[in-house]
Structure 1
Amino acid sequence: MPHPFPALIVVDVQRAFDEWEAVGKRRNNPDAVARIANLLKAFRTNRAPIFHIRHEGTKPNSTFLPSRSGYAVKDEAREEAGEPVIVKRVNSAFIGTDLETRLRAAGITTLVICGATTNHCVETTTRMAGNLGFDARLVRDATWTFDRVGPDGDTHSAEEIHAMTLSNLNGEFARIVTSDDVNASFAAR
């Protein structure tokens, strides 16, 4: 039997990203974490399922190693009792984890995805969710990314990368929504 609510998938809201910013990496969507906190509140209020995803680095200098401060979740996105935490070691929350098994066992068909970063783990998880047949909804204002230098040496702004990622995913892999859209869907029930 299908689950009556979508599941919130919170991807990699970890302190490593604060450390990146502290050393000068520039990001977009400065209010994304506050919006994630609001989504968590809405899902908890409605007793809708929540899955927390953590990235565990595997390279010796990764800021996501469990022994380093960057591995810890940001306080605003901390899990509560009974909310599963799924640890991944690659970009997709579906590879090497039991996320798909848990979702299918619970009858969950719709996923609301947020977190970091838009063009890495959020994008890869969203693409796979769509490919696996889930009704994926990526929350555009509850994810963020950083400026990057491309292979041609040109700098691409976080805003450009974010917008292009959303464009690439829209319609084929996911529906792009806002946090207000998600909150309104609960109010409409």
Structure 2
Amino acid sequence: MNRALIVVDVQESFRARPLWAQISNPEIAERVNRLVALARAAGDLVVWVLHTEPGSGDVFDPESGHVRLFEELGAPAEGEPVLHKTSHNAFTTTNLQQVLTEAGVTELWVCGIRTEQCVETTTRLGSDLGYRMVFVTDATATNAIGDLSAAAIVERTEAVLRDRFARIATVAELEAEQKAPAA
């Protein structure tokens, strides 16, 4: 089975917004880096996705200079695609499906910013396209929305994805599985 890690929107655009002060997981880069190391060690494809809103004049406009990966993630390795999307999911406005098909990928691990928005939407669409999906919940981040706390949003997202669209996993669980000897 070929696998890919999809890193969705872990970009400076979010840190440039005042809302970043209330993000649920400000240390998301540390967990994403652990997943990237795990994927690379297994020979899995790592795909980086950045959200863009060209011409908007805001932090998602490429002209702002904020549409770039968090510095602490380091540069993508040679051969790791960096895709720019303009939709909520990583498939619709990119060639992600083509990249995955050409690589023979059948399973996706998904992480990133806005647990209930771009990460969840990518997970749902990936499931609909036939990929075996793993939603790495502790490698996502979000903010409260109205009366819903970030924790409640994460809980809701896990509940609606679990066993319908994706397996819910943590970074530590995936690390333990990779270290376990094959049966």
TM-score by length of 1: 0.88
Q: Is the 8 A contact 1:13 1:115 kept in 2?
A: yes
1:71 match: secondary structure: coil
Determine if the alignment matches structure 1 residue 72 to structure 2 residue 51: no
Mapped to 1, the partners of 2:129 and 2:86 lie a distance apart of 19
- 2:48 alignment partner AA: H
Distance in structure 2 (CA, Å) of the matches to 1:160 and 1:122: 16
Deviation of 1:180 (Å): 1.1
Aligned partner of 2:23 in structure 1 is 27
Distance 1:101 1:28, change over 3 A: same
**Aligned match of 2:112:** 115
Q: Residue 101 and residue 23 in structure 1: after superposition, are their counterparts in 2 closer, same or farther (change >3 A)?
A: closer
- Which residue of structure 2 aligns with residue 47 of structure 1? 43
Report what 1:57 is aligned to. 53
Q: Is the 8 A contact 2:57 2:63 kept in 1?
A: no
Cα separation, 2, equivalents of 1:32 and 1:23: 15
Question: CA separation of 1:174/1:59 partners in 2, compared to 1, >3 Å: closer, same or farther?
Answer: farther
Matched-pair identity in %: 34
Contact 2:50–2:83 (CA under 8 A) maintained in structure 1: yes
Equivalent residue number for residue 157 of structure 2? 165
Say if 2:5 and 2:47, in contact at 8 Å, map to a contact too.
yes
How far is the alpha carbon of 1:59 from its aligned partner? 5.6
The 1:112–1:23 alpha-carbon spacing in structure 2 relative to 1, beyond 3 Å, is closer
Distance 2:124 2:42 in 1: 27
Aligned residue for 1:109, secondary structure, equals strand
TM-score w.r.t. length of structure 2: 0.91
Structure 1 position 70, deviation (Å): 2.2
Note the residue ranges of structure 1 that are not aligned, 5 or more in a row. 150-154
Moved over 4 A (4+): 22-25
Given that residues 53 and 86 in structure 1 are in contact (C-alpha distance below 8 angstroms), is that contact kept between their aligned partners in structure 2?
yes
Instruction: Report if the CA contact (8 A) 1:25-1:147 is conserved.
Output: no
- Shift, 1:24, TM fit: 6.2
CA RMSD of aligned residues (A): 1.6
User: Please, which runs of 5 or more residues in structure 2 have no aligned partner?
Assistant: none
Q: Give the Cα–Cα distance (whole angstroms) in 2 for the partners of residues 24 and 33 of structure 1.
A: 14
Q: Give the match for residue 174 of structure 2.
A: 182
For 1:87, the equivalent position in structure 2 comes to 84
1:49 partner amino acid: L
Deviation at 1:23, TM superposition (A): 5.3
1:38 aligns with 2:25: no
Q: Any conservation in 2 of the 1:8–1:50 contact (CA below 8 Å)?
A: yes
User: Structure 1, residues 138-161: CA drift from partner, whole Å, max 9, x if none?
Assistant: 001000101112xxxxx2211111
Matching residue of 2:122: 125
Amino acid of the structure 2 residue aligned with 1:120: Q
